């Protein structure tokens, strides 16, 4: 079922430490519009899709979102590499450090922990696909905001890639949504 390739979907090679950017970027790991919420959303919704095409699409995109979690995690670790306690304090990450040290923990940029309340599933394919399209648009907007917060090309490159994947996912969900509407699913 799986073929594991020991490389990221897009290369991440950040050379400059930037703790503030790491603090902002964590929102795409554990925030409401982040990759972890998207992966769980799609991998849960797949079971109630009315046909194999819908199940396959949500499985494929949900699995890709897990690859995006890996990219975001890698970016955060590289942005924090060799950070001192003084730098951690100055970046406002001292409360995170108190709880988790230099370990990654799913939160938003404000430190609010991940919760399953971030994703929904109704069992209604039209409602769920509408939710999925909105989720992809929100993630796209967050990536655009993150891009605006940095001038580091090593950070911008992966963010542009992830932003583009959100657009493609939206398009795939919209195609399936339109097909299901045409078939009369409610």
Q: What is the largest CA-CA distance in the chain?
A: 60
Angle of helix 35-45 versus helix 52-80 axis, rounded to 10: 160
Taking only the tens place, the pLDDT of each residue in 106-126 is 999 999 999 999 988 999 999
Which of 70, 46, 48 is CA-nearest to residue 57? 46
SS3 127: helix
CA–CA distances in Å: residue 145 to residues 14, 72, 113: 19, 15, 21
- Answer whether residue 4 shows pLDDT above 80: no
Percentage, residues of the chain above pLDDT 70: 99
Which of 105, 104, 58 is CA-nearest to residue 80? 104
Length of the chain: 186
The C-alpha angle with vertex 140 and arms to 170 and 94, in degrees rounded to 5, equals: 140
Number of H helices, E strands in the chain: 8, 0
Q: Within a 13 Å sphere around the CA of 98, how many CA atoms are in the beta-carbon half?
A: 6
pLDDT band at 88 (very low <50, low <70, confident <90, very high): very high
- Answer whether residue 172 shows pLDDT above 80: yes
| Average of per-residue pLDDT across 82-111 | 95
> What pLDDT score does 185 carry?
87
**Contact present, 78 and 71 (Cβ < 8 Å):** no
- List the alpha helices (DSSP H) in 12-124: 19-25, 27-30, 35-45, 52-80, 85-90, 94-100
Torsion of CA 96, 100, 101, 103, to 10 degrees: -110
Domains and CATH numbers, the chain: 19-183 (1.20.1260.10)
- Answer whether residue 145 shows pLDDT above 90: yes
> What pLDDT score does 1 carry?
62
Q: Is the pTM of this model over 0.85?
A: yes
And the tokens for 183? 């078939």
> What pLDDT score does 165 carry?
98
Taking only the tens place, the pLDDT of each residue in 58-82 is 999 999 999 999 999 999 999 999 9
- Answer whether residue 134 shows pLDDT above 90: yes
- Answer whether residue 170 shows pLDDT above 90: yes
- Answer whether residue 99 shows pLDDT above 80: yes
The C-alpha angle with vertex 145 and arms to 44 and 20, in degrees rounded to 5, equals: 100
| Average of per-residue pLDDT across 36-52 | 97
* Mean residue pLDDT across the chain: 96
């Amino acid at each position: 079922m799986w073929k594991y390739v020991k490389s990221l979907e897009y290369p991440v090679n950040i050379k400059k430490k930037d703790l503030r950017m790491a603090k902002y970027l964590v929102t795409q790991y554990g925030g409401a519009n982040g990759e972890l919420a998207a992966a769980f959303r799609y991998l849960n919704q797949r079971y109630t899709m009315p046909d194999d095409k819908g199940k396959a699409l949500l499985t494929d995109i949900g699995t890709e979102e897990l690859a995006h979690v890996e990219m975001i995690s890698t970016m955060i670790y590289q942005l924090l590499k060799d950070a001192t306690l003084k730098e951690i304090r100055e970046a406002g990450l001292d409360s995170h450090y108190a709880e988790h040290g230099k370990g990654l923990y799913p939160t938003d940029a404000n430190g609010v922990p991940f919760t399953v309340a971030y994703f929904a599933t109704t069992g209604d394919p039209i409602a769920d696909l509408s939710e999925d399209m909105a989720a992809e648009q929100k993630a796209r907007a967050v990536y655009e905001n993150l891009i605006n917060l940095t001038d580091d090309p090593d950070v911008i490159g992966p963010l542009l890639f992830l932003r583009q994947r959100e657009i493609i996912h939206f398009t795939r969900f919209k195609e399936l949504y339109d097909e299901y509407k045409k078939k009369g699913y409610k």
